[in-house]
Amino acid sequence: MATTIAKPARIFGSAIRRREDPRLLTGTAKYTADITLPGQLHAAILRSPHGHARIRKIDTSAAKAAPGVVAAFTGADTEGVLQSIPCAWLVPNSDLKVSPYPAMAKSVVRYVGDAVAVVVAESAQQAYDAVDLVDVDYEPLPVTIDPEKAVKPGAPQLHMEAPNNIAFKWTVAGGDVEAAFKNAEVVVRDRIVQQRLIPTAMETRGALAHYIPATGELTLWNTTQNPHIVRFIMSLVSGIPEDRLRVIAPEVGGGFGSKIAQIQGDFITVFCSMKLGRPVKWIESRSENYQSTTHGRDHVQDVELAATKDGRILGLRCTVWAGMGAYLSTAAPGIPTILHGLMLSGPYKIPAVKEDVYGVYTNTTPVEAYRGAGRPEATFMLERIIDRLAGEIGIDPVEVRRRNLIPPFDNGFDVITGLKYDSGNYQGALDKALGHAGYEKLREEQAAARKKGRYLGIGVSVYVEICGLGPSQVAGAVGFQGGLWESAIIRFHPSGKAQVFIGASPHGQGEETTFAQIVADELGVSVNDVKVVHGDTDITPMGWGTYGSRTTAVSGAALAMATRKIKEKAKLLTSHLLEAAVEDIDFANGKFFVRGFPDRHKTIQDIALMANVAWNMPQGMEPGLEATTFYDPPNFVFPFGAHLAVVEVDPETGHVELKRYVAVDDCGPQINPMIVEGQVHGGVVQGIGQALWEQAVYNDNGQLLTGSLADYAIPRADVLPDIEVLHTVTPSPHHPLGVKGIGEAGTIASTCTVYNAVLDALEPFKVQSILMPLTPERVWQAIAGQKGA
Amino acid sequence: MKLSVSITVNGRAYDREIEPRLLLVHFLRDSLALTGTKIGCDTSQCGACVVLLDGVAVKSCTCLAAQADGSQVTTIEGVAPDGQLNAIQEAFWTKHGLQCGFCTPGMIFATQALLSGNSNPSPEQIRHALEGNLCRCTGYQNIVRSVQAAAAAGGR
């Protein structure tokens, strides 16, 4: 009988439990609000109740006299101390108008929630009591909240620098779009509104600042996705030199883009500590979070598609009005332009595209990245208009997609917007989704159900996303005011245990586990012997942060390269210790050995010890076993997939029941499939939230009507089916591990998938378009409107 | 005006002078420095602050500390004081029922409340029982699996 030797399971690709979880499960993890310093004060911020108003006078005397109050400040106090909050994505060729964004309003407030004053007291309760005593005399001004209306003549003006409220106009074009429309046999048009959303990370934003006047040093605990960017921007605004500024992102309770930007409260907290020389903490309430932390989406899109009668797409043309809110947030201008316009052709061969994007100031909370950031808005537009085309020409929407998909490629494909996709097999993902769902059978069920007066709908979408942001040279070329590389340090201790230090800043995505898996896989150590450290600018090397599905793609690549440097040094030291030629040293399963003589070996732990004690080093070799890598990717990565949803609409009530959801995603090889699946679940559900329930609503006066979790409907457990998660695996040709990103994929695909399913269900009623979210009332009204027509 | 209260938290009695308006969640977090209990909203929607009050799962933001006078409170810090996770915590770990972890303490107590009355709930029953606990990361699917696994392991 042959003896079978069990091959050790590869740790890369294993669904191991997360290393970060025990502290989270036991309540021992410390988020910003959980940290208390001796002598700490609490700040409460007074926020504008008006969408637009001139400040005539502010009187803080009653607040200052209230029990426990230490100080109260207004915008005037920040003069000469705090600079304006910078915008960090200055999109070129867009006539960008960056209007001053003060940390506290000085003469005019421009949205409900704009910071007006701050009260600092011994306790949070005292601060909140006293902030109500600040007396502000406002002169209300006219308000504009809709990005399309705000550019029209006669609309109220927010900033004198930006006539007609236009912050920028940007155009992307490729191919001959005029000819495409001239030659078209079919043109379909649609107006799509990507409603404004509120990210709603479960932990609100907050900051704890401790400034020491004697040394001029500041430590800032901050709920952020990018502590190194915080340090950079905070230094620019506060004047505290970067070397004296330490930013710590402790445990961070979700971000979804809402913890990228530096917001007013962060600067105000730092300002208070600078003025008072004591630690000052500010933690948003949820209502404050909804007004003052950034929002997402807010596009009005006019889109038209030129095609042949047999469904071949000839061209796509669109105009977008993108609401920016009252000020340009950190990355805001890049979202409806670079991250949106460049992805217009999606996974399809589209020979001509043109898009004009207007970035528009409105009297609303500033808009920023929200999970997907520009790409959901592009995917929705394309996937919706393709369904409209399919309806127009009477061909199955899946077949129309098939006729236009880019064929499989594994090493680069140039698209019309100028990007080079890295690898893709869109047809493969679509086939897998359709096969798993049983598409043909679903269509039969749909037909049978309709005969019984039941309205099933099937929605499909195919997506490709740009992520792993990105090469720094490209970042510079598109106006991003920073780099987009990452760095990693691996440090082996004498006992053979390793620590990894990364500049990126995970906040729920599980990289303390997946990055330990990378090291374990490359160097043969136990995953339990690798600790991943992040989120402290005094300890970790520079990095640009966790957003844009870039941490595994870029920071993970830096780490993989660092492991290879460790391997090279370990080989050299092994060859010295074993008196063998370095060319003869092989490495497998954590052991460096002389080729052909596996017993003559040193383990990585042996090498860690010998390198740290340094008793017997080769000539010229430095002690220690440590490697640092700076990794700037040669291109973005382009994950993709195909999703399918089945819904049933009750025409009597307009209620939408989501019956099935199938997600096929391709993020390349998976380091930890359990974590990948969790990212898909969460992403898909956030996108479903946009399709069915979520919307930030302002009234005409600029009041945020959905100002709390009582009014803004994020998905709950009882309104969702299980997501059926599948994958294909297409490695990125340029990434050292072949991996792409998965954080945003679900959100990018699911909104349009569900929307298409609902509209497919309503096909018998000839409903073509309903504003999101697809609440029962809106669905019912749409059906009733068609019945009456 | 101050009130005297005696509240037993995680088995230890605390006698404190408190403001009458003080919420139980602030008493736990600010007076006792038990910060494992989270605050995710100000309208009692999110469930991040759920604790056990005399064995019943309550949102500690809907309860005045004064109302807890004489009561027994269990917070997340009291569940595994020696680091030995209970069956529910183990199940959340094994089934990846958490990502950022902010909603997790509340989810664990909501699970405990469910399982104490129904040792073998269906997925629908689990989803219904958790509708008052919001999570923005997981899409709830792995939380449902966690609760099922906890039930199978006899957790309650």
CA distance B83 to chain A (A): 8
Contact B141 A718 (CB under 8 A): no
Asked whether residue A191 is domain-assigned, the answer is no
pLDDT digits (tens, 9 = 90+) for A668-680: 999 999 999 999 9
User: Cis before residue A773, ω within 30 degrees of 0?
Assistant: yes
Can you tell me the mean pLDDT for A375-393? 98
Q: Which of A586, A605, A631 marks a domain boundary?
A: A631
Domain boundaries, chain B: 3-77, 87-152
Q: Let me know whether A656 and A756 are in one domain.
A: yes
Query: Average pLDDT of chain A?
Result: 96
Q: Is the pLDDT of residue A726 over 90?
A: yes
Place of tokens 């926020």: A47
| d(CA A674, nearest CA chain B) in Å | 7
Of chain A, the percentage scoring pLDDT greater than 70 comes to 99
Judge contact between A685 and B139, C-beta under 8 A.
yes
Residue type, A173: A
Determine contact, residues A221/A35, Cβ cutoff 8 Å.
yes
CA angle A654, A659, A660 (to 5 degrees): 140
* pLDDT value for A431: 98
The rounded distance, in Å, linking the Cα atoms of A202 and A258 is: 11
**Residue A158 within a domain:** no
Residue A2 pLDDT exceeds 70: no
**pLDDT-based confidence at residue B114 (cuts at 50, 70, 90):** very high
Checking if the pLDDT of A5 tops 80, the result is no
Task: Check whether residue A286 and residue A325 sit in a common domain.
Answer: no
Residue A1 is predicted with a pLDDT of 44
* Residue that terminates a domain, selected from A292, A314, A339: A292
pLDDT given at position A357: 98
Which of A26, A129, A197, A203 should we substitute to test contact with B (largest number of B Cβ atoms within 10 Å)?
A26
Q: Is the dihedral of CA A239, A243, A249, A255 positive or negative?
A: positive
pLDDT tens digits, residue range A615-635?
999 999 999 999 999 999 999
> Does residue A347 contact residue A382 with C-beta atoms inside 8 Å?
no
A66-101 pLDDT, tens per residue? Answer: 999 999 999 999 999 999 999 999 999 999 999 999
Give the model's pLDDT for residue A541: 97
User: Would A4 be classed as within a structural domain?
Assistant: no
- Comparing alpha-carbon positions, the chain B residue that sits nearest to A252 is B100
Which residue in the block uniquely carries the two structure tokens 């005297």? B4
Residue A280 sits in a domain whose CATH number is: 3.90.1170.50
Q: How sure is the predictor about B155, in pLDDT bands with cuts at 50, 70 and 90?
A: confident
Q: What is the mean pLDDT of residues A572-581?
A: 97
B131 contact residues in A (CB cutoff 8 A) = 716-718
DSSP state of A329: -
Q: What is the pLDDT of residues A333-373, one digit of tens each?
A: 999 999 999 999 999 999 999 999 999 999 999 999 999 99
Report percent pLDDT > 90 for chain A: 97
CA distance A250 to A534: 9
The answer to whether residues A507 and A225 touch, using CB atoms and an 8 Å cutoff, is: yes
Q: Residue-wise over A314-351: b if at least 16 C-beta within 10 A, else e?
A: bbbbbbbbbbbbbbbbbbbbbbbbbbbbbbbbbbbebb
Q: In chain B, pLDDT over 90 holds for what percent of residues?
A: 97
pLDDT band for A470, please (50, 70, 90 cuts).
Answer: confident
Residues forming a β-bridge with A640: A464, A666
Q: Write out pLDDT tens, residues A162-199.
A: 999 999 999 999 999 999 999 999 999 999 999 999 99
For range A272-287, the mean pLDDT? 98
CATH class (in words) of the domain with range B87-152: mainly alpha
**DSSP secondary structure of B38-78:** ----SSS-S-TTEEEETTEEEETTSSBGGGGTT-EEE-GGG
More confident residue, B23 or B155: B23
Interface contacts A/B by beta carbons within 8 Å: 176
Of A616, A631, A646, the residue that ends a domain is A631
- Interchain proximity B101–A686, CB inside 8 Å: no
Establish if A6 belongs to a structural domain.
no
Instruction: Locate A370 and state its tokens.
Output: 């929200």
Contacts of A16 in chain B (CB under 8 A): none
Question: Domain range spanning residue A37?
Answer: 32-141+200-292
CA diameter of chain A: 93
Residues A104-139: tens digit of each pLDDT? 999 999 999 999 999 999 999 999 999 999 999 999
What confidence tens digit (pLDDT) does each residue in A527-573 have?
Answer: 999 999 999 999 999 999 999 999 999 999 999 999 999 999 999 99
Q: How confident is the model at residue A316 (pLDDT cuts 50, 70, 90)?
A: very high
Whether residue A227 is found in the same domain as residue A131: yes
The answer to whether A709 and B45 have CB atoms below 8 angstroms apart is yes
Nearest residue on chain B to A21, alpha-carbon basis: B93
The superfamily CATH assigns to domain B3-77 is Beta-grasp domain (3.10.20.30)
Return the amino acid letter for A701.
N
* Residue A8 pLDDT: 61
Q: Are A512 and A506 in contact (CB under 8 A)?
A: yes
pLDDT band at A789 (very low <50, low <70, confident <90, very high): low
Total domains in chain A come to: 3
Q: Are residues A117 and A239 in the same domain?
A: yes
Asked if residue A161 is part of any domain, the answer here is: no
pLDDT of res. A7: 58
Helix (H) or strand (E) segment spanning residue A320 = strand A313-325
Out of B33, B101, B140, the one facing A717 most closely (by C-beta) is B140
CATH of the domain at A441: 3.30.365.10
